[in-house]
Amino acid sequence: MSAKTADKIATTIFYIVIAIVVVLLALLLGYILYKGGRVISWDFITSPSKTLEAGGGIGPQIFNSFMILIISMIFTIPLGLGSGIYLAEYARPGKLTDAIRLCVETLASLPSIVVGLFGLLVFVNLTGWGYTLLGGALSLTVLNLPVMTRVCEDAVRTVKDELKEASLALGATKWQTITKVILPVALPGILTGIILTSGRVFGEAAAIMYTAGMSSPNVNFEVWDFTNPRSPLNIMRPAETLAVHIWKVNSESLLPDAREVADGSSAVLIIVVLLFNILARWLGGRLHGRLTGKV
C-alpha cells in the first residue's frame, strides 16, 4: 500500500470517528430531551415529589439543587479566586508552592464519592449537623476548590505582562494592580470557568448524597423565615438535589412512575447544563468584546 493510500484511509477513519462522536452526543441529548419532554410540565417541575404513588413532581429537588449550587459558590468563588491569584502572582518557586500544587492536583483527582465521605465525617458527624444543605454545599466546595483555583490561575496568567508592568510603573502596588487591572481583564475567563463549573456542580450526586441527604421533608414554600425547619431557605435542613433524586428513584424508591420521574429529571438537568454552557459562551464572548473595545 502506498503512503498516499494509507494517508487517505487514515484521514477517512479520522472523519468517521469524529462523525461517531458527534452523532453519539446528538443521540444522547436528543434521547434525553425527547423522553423528558413527554414528562415535563409546569406541574411536574413545581409540585413536590411523592414516595409511594405516581404523579409526583420534582419542585423541591430543583430548588435544592440551585440553593446548594449558590451556597457552595459563595464559598468556592472567593477561595478559588484567592488561591488562584496567589499561585499566579505571588507564589515563588519553592517547597511551599510545590506543596500547594501537589494538594490542588491531589484534591482535583479524588473520586467525588471520597470527597462525599469526607463531608460525611466532617460536616455531618463531627459538626453534629446531620444531613444539611450547608454540609452538602461545603462538600461541593471541597470538590470544586481545585477546579476553581485552576480556572482563576489560568485566567490571571493570560493577562498580558505589559498591562501589569504599565500599572506597576505608574506606582500602583501589586495588589492594586491585581484588583484594578488584572482582575477586570481576567474576568471573562473567570466567569466562563465559574459558569461551566456550576453546570458540573448542579449535576453532582456522589459527593452530596451522604452529606445533604436523600430526602427533602415537607418544605413549605410559603415559609420564608430561614430559621424555620420547614422553610426552603433554611440551610440546616436535609436537601435532596435533582441529581441525587434520579439515583434514588432508580435504586431505592417504590415509585410506580420512577421511569417517568427519572426521564423528566434527567431532561431538566440537561437543560440547565445546556443553558449554563450557552450562557458561558455568550457572556465570555460579550465581555471579551466589551473589554477589548470590539462591541
- From the CB of 293, what's the least distance to other proteins, in Å? 24
Angle (CA) 68-257-43 rounded to 5° is 60
Q: Closer to other proteins at the Cβ: 147 or 234?
A: 147
- From the CB of 287, what's the least distance to other proteins, in Å? 18
Identify the three-state secondary structure at position 161: helix
- From the CB of 289, what's the least distance to other proteins, in Å? 17
- Structural Rg of the chain based on CA atoms: 23
Distance (Å, whole) CA 196 – CA 210:
24
**How is residue 192 annotated by DSSP?**
H
Q: Closer to other proteins at the Cβ: 67 or 280?
A: 280
Long-range contacts of the stretch 90-99 (C-beta < 8 A, 24+): 90/174
Other Cβ atoms less than 10 A from the Cβ of 201: the count is: 25
DSSP per residue over 21-78, as a string? HHHHHHHHHHHHHHHHHTT--HHHHHSPP-SSSS----HHHHHHHHHHHHHHHHHHHH
Closest alpha carbon to 148 in 212, 98, 198: 198
Q: Closer to other proteins at the Cβ: 112 or 231?
A: 112
Angle (CA) 232-237-238 rounded to 5° is 105
Q: Closer to other proteins at the Cβ: 183 or 233?
A: 183
- From the CB of 21, what's the least distance to other proteins, in Å? 6
Distance (Å, whole) CA 92 – CA 104:
16
- From the CB of 154, what's the least distance to other proteins, in Å? 12
- From the CB of 17, what's the least distance to other proteins, in Å? 4
Q: Closer to other proteins at the Cβ: 86 or 221?
A: 86
- From the CB of 176, what's the least distance to other proteins, in Å? 7
Q: Closer to other proteins at the Cβ: 3 or 254?
A: 3
Contacts of 73 (CB under 8 A, 6+ apart): 194, 198, 201
- From the CB of 158, what's the least distance to other proteins, in Å? 15
Q: Closer to other proteins at the Cβ: 41 or 173?
A: 173
Q: Closer to other proteins at the Cβ: 237 or 248?
A: 248
Other Cβ atoms less than 10 A from the Cβ of 154: the count is: 16
Distance (Å, whole) CA 214 – CA 11:
49
Distance (Å, whole) CA 187 – CA 284:
9
